[in-house]
């Protein structure tokens, strides 16, 4: 009984209970600190999950846009009204690309939206665009489309969807696709084309331009409707 009594007394002795309390407090303190560190780490991971893609987009913007806006690309410049990030991609609104071809003739490409490629900064996807091209003799042509792929380095423009071609001579042609070699001043397409010119209406299976856009060739079979009054006016004007 005395042994049991001694054991009972030891368990209830205040001197032996203090270390136990300190041990419990120490364990609880460490657990609290661990939980705090885990909470901070979770918050950090959550923030970086959104911050890293944003930083990547901003860096892409600096690489793609800054040299152009700052004028470091000789003979080429781009402006825009707003730059936004959407689905991990950089998008420029109301973008305008201004450059010159191999003969120093100016051209301007405007688009409601411009999305530079992440794989190649020289390639840009355009939405609802217009391309104005000017010749040294003062003539001009305008091509519009719903979508386009602009490659700046070889200066090419691939158009798709409601492609409309206008010239200062009064030509108005419509097709569904076109490929433009800006430096060569050449455009062509292999989709059905129709439209009107100073002499009447024309339909064909494709087109190509020659003499840097001075003339448009319609590939056949070709259907032409000539209006006599327009032809006589054109003849009188030529005289």
CATH code: domain of residue 91 = 2.60.450.10
- Do residues 146 and 198 share a domain? yes
At 180 the pLDDT is 95
125 in the same domain as 46: no
Tell me the per-residue pLDDT of 29-72, one tens digit each, with 9 for 90 and over. 555 555 556 555 565 555 556 555 555 544 444 444 444 444 44
- The pLDDT value given to residue 72: 45
Residue 170: what pLDDT? 87
Same domain, residue pair 225 and 110: yes
Question: Mean pLDDT for the chain?
Answer: 76
Are the beta carbons of 78 and 97 closer than 8 angstroms? yes
> Does one domain contain both 118 and 143?
yes
Mark whether 52 and 17 lie in a shared domain: yes
> Do 169 and 86 share a structural domain?
yes
E strand or H helix at 32: helix 14-64
The verdict on 18 and 89 lying in the same domain is: no
Verify that 8 and 76 share a domain, yes or no.
Answer: no
Do 49 and 71 share a domain, yes or no?
A: no
Q: Is 197 helix (H, G, I), strand (E, B) or coil?
A: coil
**123: pLDDT strictly greater than 60:** yes
Report yes or no on whether pTM surpasses 0.75: no
Same domain, 31 and 143: no
Residue 58 in tokens: 């901003």
**Residue 214 and residue 177 share a domain:** yes
What pLDDT digit, counting tens, does each position of 107-117 carry? 999 999 999 88
pLDDT at 56: 52
In this structure, the answer to whether residues 24 and 134 fall within a common structural domain is no
Strand, coil or helix: 82: strand
Asked which of 35, 56, 77 is the last residue of a domain, the reply is 56
Which of 13, 31, 56 lies at the terminal end of a domain, its last residue?
A: 56
**Domain tally, the chain:** 2
Tell me which residue range forms the domain holding 9.
2-56
- In this predicted structure, the answer to whether residue 25 has a pLDDT above a threshold of 70 is no
Give the Cα separation of 229 and 239 in Å (integer): 16
Q: By percentage, how much of the chain surpasses pLDDT 70?
A: 64
CA distance 195 to 208: 14
Question: What is the per-residue pLDDT across 158-189, written as a single tens digit (0 to 9) for each?
Answer: 999 999 999 888 889 999 999 999 988 889 99
Say what the pLDDT of residue 47 is.
Answer: 52
For residue 48, the model assigns a pLDDT of: 54
């Amino acid at each position: 009984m005395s042994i049991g009594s001694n054991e009972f007394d030891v368990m209830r002795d205040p001197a032996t209970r203090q270390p136990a309390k300190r041990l419990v407090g120490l364990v609880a303190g460490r657990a609290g600190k661990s939980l705090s560190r885990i909470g901070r780490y979770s918050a950090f991971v959550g923030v970086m999950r959104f911050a890293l893609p944003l930083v990547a987009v901003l860096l892409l913007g600096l690489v793609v846009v800054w040299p152009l806006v700052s004028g470091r690309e000789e003979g080429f410049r781009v402006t825009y009204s707003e730059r936004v990030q959407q689905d991990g991609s950089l998008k420029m609104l109301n973008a305008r690309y201004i450059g010159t071809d191999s003969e120093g003739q100016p051209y301007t490409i405007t688009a409601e939206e411009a999305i530079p490629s992440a794989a190649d900064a020289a390639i840009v996807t355009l939405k609802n665009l217009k391309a104005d091209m000017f010749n040294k003799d003062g003539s001009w042509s305008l091509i519009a489309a719903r979508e386009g792929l602009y490659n700046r380095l070889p200066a090419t423009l691939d158009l798709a969807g409601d492609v409309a071609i206008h010239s200062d001579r009064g030509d108005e042609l419509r097709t569904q696709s076109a490929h433009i070699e800006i430096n060569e001043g050449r455009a062509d397409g292999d989709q059905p084309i129709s439209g009107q010119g100073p002499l009447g209406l024309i339909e064909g299976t494709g087109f190509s331009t020659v003499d840097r856009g001075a003339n448009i060739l319609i590939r056949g079979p070709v259907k032409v409707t000539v209006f006599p009054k327009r032809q006589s006016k054109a003849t009188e004007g030529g005289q």
